[in-house]
Structure 1
Amino acid sequence: MKRRNQLMLGISSFVVISSLIVHGLHRFTTFADGYQVIRGNVSAASPIALTLIAMLPVICLIAATVLYRMHPRSTTVPLLLTVTLTFSSMSIVAGGNGLVEYHFSIFMVLALIAYFRRVDLILISTVLFAIQHFAGFFFAPSFICGTTGYPFSILMIHAVFLILTSAALIIQITVQNQERHAAMTRETEAETLIINVSQQIETLVGHLKTNTIHLKQAAAHSVIVTNQIAAAIEPIVDSADGQHQSMQHGTHQLEQVNQAIATIQMQMASTAETTVNMTATARSGNEEMHLMEQRVEEMVKATDRLNQSVDAMTGRSDKIQTILASLEAIAAQTNLLALNAAIEAARAGEAGRGFAVVATEVGHLAVQSRSYASEVTDVLHALVEDTDQIKITTQAYADTLTENRQMTTRVGQTFADMTQMIEDVEQSIRSIQTARQGVGSQMLDIGERMDTTRVASLEVRRGIETTAAGLEKQAGVQYEFETMTESLSTMTVSLEQLVDELTQHTVR
């Protein structure tokens, strides 16, 4: 705050001096007279009023300077400097006979006030400039425009851009203040983190001191414990020798058990092979029985077809008998017709002699047809009797085949049951072999573990002997341990100094 007030105090002094220079150039020289005539800027302001306007920013600057000397960090100093800069811009515009070019000083002042990063100061300056423009336009236009004929619409353009500039500066200041607040928050969090780390390091140093003391005490106690361990090692060595001998005896017993398991394995393998052969034989017999059943079925089907053929022959014989009966009837009718024809031929006399011969031959043919039909009937009766005998024989053969099929089915079922029982026995043997293999594997594992334990017992004995030798060297290690403890104490002191420096840096 102090440096900002100091810098703005110097800039405000420069702006006030610039306003006085503008007053001097336009009141005591011919500066820009020709340009004002061309523009038609001919209305002159009162010299007394211009003097008062020129002295107003000087008075505000003096007040801000006195307050800064008394309170360099006062928040009122920026307010006085804002008023000083605002009145300086008004003085420049009035001292420059209201030339439009001097109105740019308004934007310069707003940009300078924005350095304070305070929205209220921008609003105060904007309000003062608005009052100046509107009040001056209606009551003293020569101080604002240099003429009484300045259009109000042009003045409104000035006001619009003044408001837009102020709004842009307010937005920038608001965003900057938010970012600055966020940065300050992060800085505060960092300082808090550093303080926490310092406190944790201090706690750690305290723990290190305590642990160092405990470490020294532990070193002294370790010497006593080492002596006690050395005294307790001897009975452990004797126990390790006994354990080693016991492990050797157990290993020998396990070898005997493994040999017995191997013998059982050979016997089980032989039994399993025999069972496999029996299973194969039973399956082969079962397959042959299936083939026999199929053949018996085929014979039964052939017998059925033969019965059907015999039945068909019987039916056809009946038809033939019917046909023969019809032939006999036809022969009798033909014979009767031949007789009637002979009678008619005899009546006809000489003219019917040829017809009589034909009638006689037809009668002979009818007699022969009847004779042949009688013979065929006799043969057919014999054929029917043979067919009946074949049918009886076929039925007896079919009954025999049926009995054979039933017997074959029972034998096949017996073979199937036998095969299933043999397979069950084979499965049981395989399960026994699997269990035996598992037992064998477990026995091997136990043997390996016994060997490992035996070797481990030897290693334990050697380790105990090595430990006994190491205990003798531990005294020298204890001395080095005490040296390390002292070094740790030195590092703890250095760490305390570092914590103090970090704390002092945080405070600064």
Structure 2
Amino acid sequence: MKRRNQLMFWISFLVVTLSFIVHGLQRFTDFAEGYQLIRGNVTAASPTTLAWIALLPFVCWIASAVLYRIRPDSIIVALLLTLTLTFSSMSIVAGGNGLVEYHFSIFMVLALIAYFRRINLILVSTILFALQHFAGFFFAPSLICGTTGYPFSILMIHAVFLILTSVALIIQIAVQNQERSVSLKRETEATALMTNASHQIEALVGNLKTNTKHLQQAAVQSVEATNQIATAIAPIVQSADGQHQSMQHGTDQLHQVNASIASIQAKMAQTVMTTEHMTKRALTGNEEMNLMDRRVEEMVKSTNGLHTSVTAMASRSDKIQKILASLEAIAGQTNLLALNAAIEAARAGDAGRGFAVVATEVGHLAVQSRSYANEVTEVLQALIADTDQIKTTAAGYTKTLAENQKMTSRVRQTFSDITHLVQEVEQSISSIQTARQGVGVQMLNIEQRMETTRTASLEVRHGIESTAVSLEQQTTVQHEFESMTESLSTMTASLEYLVDELTQHMTR
């Protein structure tokens, strides 16, 4: 209604201006003067009356302008504009000295008033025009006809066509209003449906945005957890490599120990043969007293060789102790690594359950390795004690031989003591051989277990590497999932923009 009032406001101003133009042409120029003489329209109303008739539509227009500033969509504005147009047409007819040609302004005004689509306004204007024609014909014919000799029948023709025009406009407005009512009803229903659909789409967009945010947060958390797991696995892989290298180094050292033990065994066999020979010679010593000095020298050499062998065996025992200390340190490191791996697996939850089992087994292997190292340490301590005993015995034997070299005269007296000492040496050597065999068996067991531990560490490493590869694949999938959620967010934003556009369009 506001837009119609605004448009008709300016159209009414143009019609009022046209009325002033007609008055000016007819009163101040000789416009259509010859044509009026031919038609017989020579009677003119008084200038005062024409002035009031010209000002009436302008007054109505001013009143409509004031009311339009206050209430632009008021129905009173439309009524005032209708009066402005109607009185403007009457002013044009009166100002044009009642020429028939100016009566066409009536149909122009009715056509303009029909823009309001209100039948009551058409009726108001038609009644005013009818009153103008009939009252003017009887009381002021110069204002409506320009002459006093205008036939009433011709005036009736004007009235009939005025009524027919009004009826046609009323019928058109009624039909248009009915169609517009039906269209408005359909538009209202469509707007309601679109509004409902818009609300549902808005709710859907809200759910999509919420779910998208949740998905993005879950994806980010998953990527962070994966990165943390990968970061935690990296030192475990390095520790597994270090453990594998340590196991390999321990295995090499065990091979060296076995080689040393084999060398000791060979020397001990040689020592056994020497002691057997000494025993035989001691039993027949009385018969070989003349060769005592040479034999004693040979025994001194053999004793020196025994001392050297025992010293070498003691040195190798120290190496074995260092190796066992390294093994115990490796076992402690493996146990600590297994504990760290179990903690990281517990943090990973269900995804690290399998890794926790592997870590537990590694811990068990570390405990077993430490136990075996302790057993070897005990055996080695016994071996060291025996070695010390051999060294003591060898020292006493060397001292006895030195005394025998100086005291040849006392050889027979002390020969029984030498025989006894040789027997003790033989028994000690037998004990050393027995201990050596036990150490050999234990070293073989340790070597086997070290190999088992090394194999287990390789399996742990391969398992960790497989887990790392799986984590990389999972990270790639999670990044793709993040890209999908970003695309979904973009689509949601586009859908939300379309919903806003649709809502604004319905509002307009």
TM-score by length of 1: 0.46
Is the radius of gyration larger for structure 1 or structure 2? Answer: 1
